[in-house]
Amino acid sequence: MDPRGVLERWIEAINCHDVADLAALMTRDFLFVDSLGGQVNGVQPMESGWRAYFAMCPDYWIRGDSVLTQGGAALIAGEAGGTIDGQPWRTPAAWKVEIRNGQIAEWRVFADNKPVYEILAKRRS
């Protein structure tokens, strides 16, 4: 599968909350980096991470408005959003992606997650 096809399937799996397909698309040494620099390595920890995130935000979605690919690298610019604790949120987002042998090797998120943090802060008060 070409890099753009891999990305389309990956984004569809995220938007469908299909953790099994996400896992199938990850390399064994998969690296996830969130917008604060936090990292998760490996398929099994990411499966748990996706499940937890989809449980917290049951209608989470991403949209790629612009996609640039070169070899096994891609940059996606778009938007992400969903609902947490009944509160909708959305924010501009970008993703840096490394694709190797038809699988995602790295998914790096760049987003202003202030709307999410504000909703989560209400849980503590």
- Domains of the chain, by residue range, sit at 3-124
List all residues 6 or more positions away from 63 whose beta carbon is below 8 Å from its beta carbon. 78, 79, 80
**SS3 state of residue 78:** strand
pLDDT at 83 (0 to 100): 97
The separation between CA 33 and the C-alpha centre of its own chain, rounded to angstroms, equals: 9
Tell the burial category of 36 from Cβ atoms under 10 Å away from its Cβ (0-12, 13-18, 19+): exposed
Q: Over the stretch 59-111, which tens digit does the pLDDT of each residue have?
A: 999 999 999 999 999 999 999 999 999 999 999 999 999 999 999 999 999 99
Closest by Cα among 51, 69, 68 to 60 = 51
Instruction: Say whether pLDDT at 125 is over 90.
Output: no
Give me the architecture of the 3-124 domain, per CATH.
Roll (3.10)
How far is Cα 36 from Cα 22, in angstroms, rounded to an integer? 22
Q: Extract the tokens encoding 106.
A: 């790295």
How many angstroms separate the CA atoms of 104 and 27, rounded? 6
Residue in 19, 24, 20, 22 with CA at minimum distance from that of residue 55: 19
